[in-house]
Chains A and B, each alone.
Chain A
């Protein structure tokens, strides 16, 4: 025989009123079958049968008020000593809260143990005791992992010993030759002029890596818009010196529309328009694109320009261009036509706002008054940053460039 006591149906409710029974003595009941409805100070509650078995006795009638913990139903439980599930077994009968065997709660089951807690606790940190551990941004850690570089072997060149991308790049893969730190000059790390086509994944370095960065920057920030046209060189007296003529033409364009010889800062929406035309000239080398700057193009003679250009090109190929000759340009020129290609959509490198590309010279059939002639023509592609240059300005610039290029000399 098992006796079911009235459980606490609220939080510390002392009693409940029996509203009506759903079972009677002798009934065979199933676990969870509705057994009795009781009303507490809080709610009307259906109490399900906590056991499967036969009802042997009911200890209260409908309308009776029963104290929490008092016997309610006697069962002949099936399977003998079957225990009600933990949730349904009522908590200990309501007792005086001051008594020692108090369960400590009137809701749920309070876990207890005799385990003694022995702690060795430190309040607050060991202030200021910074350990010598590698500090690196997540991207740098990822790069090092990819390249198999052990960051522990590097000395960070960043603020507070922070390891930078460059530290990892210049360490050489796995820091094989230089476990103590970045190699000076890093020339050994550069790929040879003819990289082997082995299908191996190569880490971009140096110039090519720089190009990846600036081109992505251009793509992400500049509103590149390109205008195409041709300059008819039929009137030229000397068929040479294309680059110096193009440089001069750029200066003429800048004079007509200074807005293209400028810097633009998209963040602050400010621009600087320059009087002096400093042209960055793209030079193709085996190791990648290098872009030295020719200063004050408008103020120099053709001979001066030719001489300076030659020097810069040689220095570029030898990789001896001074850093100051690689920055602070106001406009750009790409002469890809020396190789192939008529038109292109060259990308403006911020903060400059314009780049002009010259394609392969070709004799085109042109309609002239009274007939057709074959003229030498230079295809031109002018890309401008449409965020701060209007289409009209760009077109007038290009018109001035063409007008200057088409002069006999």
Chain B
């Protein structure tokens, strides 16, 4: 099996599905000739032609609208938004059309669109290139929001997202694109959507996170283990709808919950997870729920970027607080 990066896994998933399903088309800015701003679609136009891999003008609203139209006519568009900070012009199409096509047509039409976009910061990019506004999308009924945290999950979850009959926003943690390599079989096997992935089993505290923050969270778990604290690490993977059962079962086991996300705190997805556990798992909690998040401001530029992104130390500190501050 090849050891590949997340970006290669994403390209591989595209190629597999395009080879096996003629209705899959790729569109976006620079996805064709250039192979994508991060090379996610490198080589696809050469292999599948300009009809199926289309460079679009710099117009995200149009990319969204084209995708809706293609999906309504039987295609399975996989659209790339170059950076999450540029997704907002497409919100009209995503919120008013994609997410409610099934509802509007009383189930006659679904909207099998995948919108891929890089997620989060950590690569010293300029403003508007480091967004993690997944909560805005998770709030929309009818929209699935997925965020892989490893090459294997990027491959399996992207395949599942393309095959899913409903719209999926597929958030790709940009910091992880090339950070590590993993053995991934190019066998076209999808992974289940709508479930969490337990990255590490533990008994003392549940750490729920997703995307690039799995990196710091796993390191925090390593550090905690040295102090005798056994942390269970859950990768949310599908941000909406949330697999509440896995989280509640874990909290019932550990009695403590720390949520880690890169996005700003206010009304973040962490608040929803905390509410779910407060509603359904309150009696299992032995300590107040903790959140370790970005701050309620925009992601700063390069020098302060890692002040904003939750650090291993901040995560460890929050876990410690669940053992002392109550």
Taking the closest CB of chain B, its distance from the CB of A91, in whole angstroms, is: 10
B179 and A116 form a contact (CB under 8 A): no
Mark each residue of chain A from 89 to 126: 1 if its CB lies under 8 Å from any CB of chain B, else 0: 00000000110001011111111111111111111111
Mark each residue of chain B from 84 to 97: 1 if its CB lies under 8 Å from any CB of chain A, else 0: 00000000000000
Q: Which of B37-45, B161-169, B265-273 contacts A (4 or more CB under 8 A)?
A: B37-45
Q: Which of B61-69, B70-78, B247-255 contacts A (4 or more CB under 8 A)?
A: B247-255
Q: Is A238 an interface residue (CB 8 A)?
A: no
B303 and A109 form a contact (CB under 8 A): no
Total A residues in contact with B, Cβ cutoff 8 Å = 44
Taking the closest CB of chain A, its distance from the CB of B184, in whole angstroms, is: 10
B43 to A, closest residue via Cβ = A98
Taking the closest CB of chain B, its distance from the CB of A46, in whole angstroms, is: 15
B302 and A86 form a contact (CB under 8 A): yes
Mark each residue of chain B from 201 to 219: 1 if its CB lies under 8 Å from any CB of chain A, else 0: 1000000000000000000
A137 and B282 form a contact (CB under 8 A): yes
Taking the closest CB of chain A, its distance from the CB of B275, in whole angstroms, is: 15
A11 and B249 form a contact (CB under 8 A): no
- Whether A125 contacts B245 in the complex (CB less than 8 A), given A104-B38, A109-B123, comes out as yes
8 Å CB contact of A105 from B37, B180, B249: B37
Q: Which of B14-22, B47-55, B124-132, B315-323 contacts A (4 or more CB under 8 A)?
A: B124-132
A124 and B122 form a contact (CB under 8 A): no
B179 and A102 form a contact (CB under 8 A): no
Q: Is B30 an interface residue (CB 8 A)?
A: yes
B123 and A12 form a contact (CB under 8 A): no
Q: Is A60 an interface residue (CB 8 A)?
A: no
Taking the closest CB of chain A, its distance from the CB of B40, in whole angstroms, is: 10
B37 and A133 form a contact (CB under 8 A): no
B40 to A, closest residue via Cβ = A104
> How distant is the Cα of A137 from the Cα of B286 in the complex, in angstroms?
9
A112 and B178 form a contact (CB under 8 A): yes
Q: Is B192 an interface residue (CB 8 A)?
A: yes
- Whether A124 contacts B123 in the complex (CB less than 8 A), given A97-B42, A113-B180, A119-B199, comes out as no
A124, A125, A131 pick with most chain B CB within 10 angstroms: A125
8 Å CB contact of A124 from B38, B129, B246: B246
Mark each residue of chain B from 292 to 308: 1 if its CB lies under 8 Å from any CB of chain A, else 0: 00000000011100000
Which parts of A369-399 form the interface with B (CB within 8 Å)?
A: none
Q: Is B3 an interface residue (CB 8 A)?
A: yes
- Whether A117 contacts B181 in the complex (CB less than 8 A), given A125-B198, A135-B284, A137-B283, comes out as yes
Question: Which B residues lie within 8 Å of A128 (CB)?
Answer: 249
B181 and A114 form a contact (CB under 8 A): yes
B6 to A, closest residue via Cβ = A117
Taking the closest CB of chain A, its distance from the CB of B124, in whole angstroms, is: 4
Q: Is B170 an interface residue (CB 8 A)?
A: no
B39, B183, B285 pick with most chain A CB within 10 angstroms: B39
A125 and B250 form a contact (CB under 8 A): yes
Which parts of B4-28 form the interface with A (CB within 8 Å)?
A: 5, 7
Taking the closest CB of chain B, its distance from the CB of A282, in whole angstroms, is: 37
* Size band of the interface chain B makes with A: 35 or more
- Whether A110 contacts B180 in the complex (CB less than 8 A), given A135-B283, A135-B284, comes out as no
Mark each residue of chain B from 277 to 289: 1 if its CB lies under 8 Å from any CB of chain A, else 0: 0000011111010
B302 to A, closest residue via Cβ = A87
Question: Which A residues lie within 8 Å of B243 (CB)?
Answer: 124-125
Q: Is A211 an interface residue (CB 8 A)?
A: no
A97 and B302 form a contact (CB under 8 A): no
8 Å CB contact of A116 from B182, B196, B326: B182
Q: Is A129 an interface residue (CB 8 A)?
A: yes
Mark each residue of chain B from 174 to 190: 1 if its CB lies under 8 Å from any CB of chain A, else 0: 11011111110000000
Q: Is B158 an interface residue (CB 8 A)?
A: no
> How distant is the Cα of A141 from the Cα of B284 in the complex, in angstroms?
10
> How distant is the Cα of A114 from the Cα of B196 in the complex, in angstroms?
27
Taking the closest CB of chain B, its distance from the CB of A160, in whole angstroms, is: 8
8 Å CB contact of B249 from A102, A130, A135, A138: A130
Question: Which B residues lie within 8 Å of A122 (CB)?
Answer: 197-198, 201
Q: Is B35 an interface residue (CB 8 A)?
A: yes
Q: Is B171 an interface residue (CB 8 A)?
A: no
Q: Is B150 an interface residue (CB 8 A)?
A: yes
B201 and A123 form a contact (CB under 8 A): no
> How distant is the Cα of A188 from the Cα of B265 in the complex, in angstroms?
50
Question: Which B residues lie within 8 Å of A134 (CB)?
Answer: 286
B249 and A115 form a contact (CB under 8 A): no
Question: Which B residues lie within 8 Å of A107 (CB)?
Answer: 37, 83, 123, 125-126, 129
Question: Which B residues lie within 8 Å of A129 (CB)?
Answer: 249
Question: Which A residues lie within 8 Å of B42 (CB)?
Answer: 97-98
Q: Is B191 an interface residue (CB 8 A)?
A: yes
Question: Which B residues lie within 8 Å of A11 (CB)?
Answer: 37, 82
Q: Is B258 an interface residue (CB 8 A)?
A: no
- Whether A123 contacts B195 in the complex (CB less than 8 A), given A12-B34, A98-B42, A116-B3, comes out as yes
Taking the closest CB of chain A, its distance from the CB of B66, in whole angstroms, is: 21
B30 and A108 form a contact (CB under 8 A): no
B124 and A98 form a contact (CB under 8 A): no
22 interchain pairs, CB-CB under 8 A: A98-B35, A102-B39, A104-B7, A104-B178, A107-B125, A108-B126, A108-B302, A109-B124, A110-B177, A111-B123, A114-B181, A117-B181, A121-B152, A124-B192, A124-B197, A124-B245, A125-B198, A125-B245, A125-B247, A127-B249, A133-B255, A133-B284
The 4 closest A-B pairs by CB, nearest first: A125-B246, A108-B125, A108-B123, A124-B195
**4 other A-B residue contacts (CB within 8 Å) besides A87-B302, A116-B180, A121-B235:** A110-B177, A117-B151, A125-B198, A142-B326
